[in-house]
Amino acid sequence: MSISDQIKQAASVDIFRLADDKDAFAGHPFYFDYNLVHVLIADARKHRVGGIPQGTFLLAFYDNEKSEKEAVLLRALKPTKLPTDQDVIKSMVEYYKDNLRVSGESSQLDEYTRYEFSFSGLECRVLGTFYQDNKQRLVFGADLENFYSAHNYSVYKPHGTILEKIVNFREGDHIPGQPPDVRIGDIRYSSSRRYQEQEKTKVPFYVSPADFLGKRTALFGMTRTGKSNTVTHHSRKRESLCFNFREWACS
């Protein structure tokens, strides 16, 4: 693909179109502030969007003004309580005591009760806001300039090219994936990949060497995934480069 084609493809990705994708709808917020958002989700919605593992990126769109190009970027943290949770737990305990089947095809619950049992709360962290400036360019701000009542928003799970746009976002005309960017892997929210293997395309993740200049870096990973070997290898390579530089400087 030529550079011009890549520019056109990158420019054609509109993250605000996600609000029209019913299959990506995750739920509605019932609490909203500058740091946290609590979302009401249902089992059917979690299944339809391909699961919501911890760390998932979500986008909250303001529903009342379609012309307002703004999306709040969220990260899923952990479950949170619903005001109705205590009543649901009481009902569950009573069903368990009566030794009734509460799940599966042979469930003895009525449709209304099964529907009520399927809801849960999700706590999300506010990461910032995507919006369009006066020149119709996509901009990201690492906070909230304003927010409205929680019922005015709908939350969606980004995927495909929209997710790629979010995780590799660069301000300006730079296209992610072009030199000097380096592709270091694909987006992977969890070690379990049952849902992720069903996705048709992988979402690449790029880094720019300029992001590391003059800054401290850290290496994270699960146990026994090669963190120590990676650090050792790069430390030896860095020492070799430093030695060669000194040798050149003294000659």
In this predicted model, what pLDDT tens digit does every residue of 207-243 receive, in sequence order? 888 777 777 778 788 788 888 887 776 555 454 444 4
Which has the minimum average pLDDT: 20-29, 87-96, 162-171, 236-245? 236-245
Q: Which residues contact 241 (CB under 8 A, 6 or more apart)?
A: none
Query: What's the burial of 195, exposed, middle or buried (CB within 10 Å: 0-12/13-18/19+)?
Result: middle
pLDDT number for residue 232? 77
Give the pLDDT band of residue 9 (cuts 50, 70, 90): low
Q: Which residues contact 49 (CB under 8 A, 6 or more apart)?
A: 23, 24, 25, 26, 157, 159
pLDDT number for residue 245? 39
Retrieve residue 126's tokens.
């506010």
Q: Could you give the CA distance from residue 180 to residue 206 in angstroms, rounded to a whole number?
A: 10
Give pTM, 2 decimals. Answer: 0.80
Question: Max alpha carbon distance in the chain (Å)?
Answer: 87
pLDDT number for residue 127? 97
Average pLDDT over residues 141-166: 93
pLDDT number for residue 6? 53
Q: How far is CA 126 from the centre of its chain?
A: 11
Average pLDDT over residues 62-74: 86
Top pLDDT among 140 and 232 is at: 140
Q: Phi and psi (nearest 5°) for 4?
A: -65, -40
Answer whether residue 104 shows pLDDT above 60: yes
Q: Name the one residue in this structure whose structure tokens are 């209304």.
A: 112
Answer whether residue 91 shows pLDDT above 80: yes
Of 205, 152, 165, the residue nearest 9 (C-alpha): 165
Q: Could you give the CA distance from residue 159 to residue 49 in angstroms, rounded to a whole number?
A: 9
Q: What is the pLDDT of residues 108-123, one digit of tens each?
A: 777 888 888 899 999 9
Output the CA torsion 149→49→121→130 (10° steps): -40
- Arithmetic mean of pLDDT over the chain: 83
Q: Name the one residue in this structure whose structure tokens are 């479950």.
A: 79
Give the pLDDT band of residue 4 (cuts 50, 70, 90): low
Retrieve residue 67's tokens.
């012309």
> Which residues sit opposite 101 in a β-bridge?
none
Average pLDDT over residues 94-108: 79
Percentage of the chain beyond pLDDT 70 is 86
Q: Could you give the CA distance from residue 119 to residue 240 in angstroms, rounded to a whole number?
A: 57
Q: Could you give the CA distance from residue 155 to residue 138 in angstroms, rounded to a whole number?
A: 19
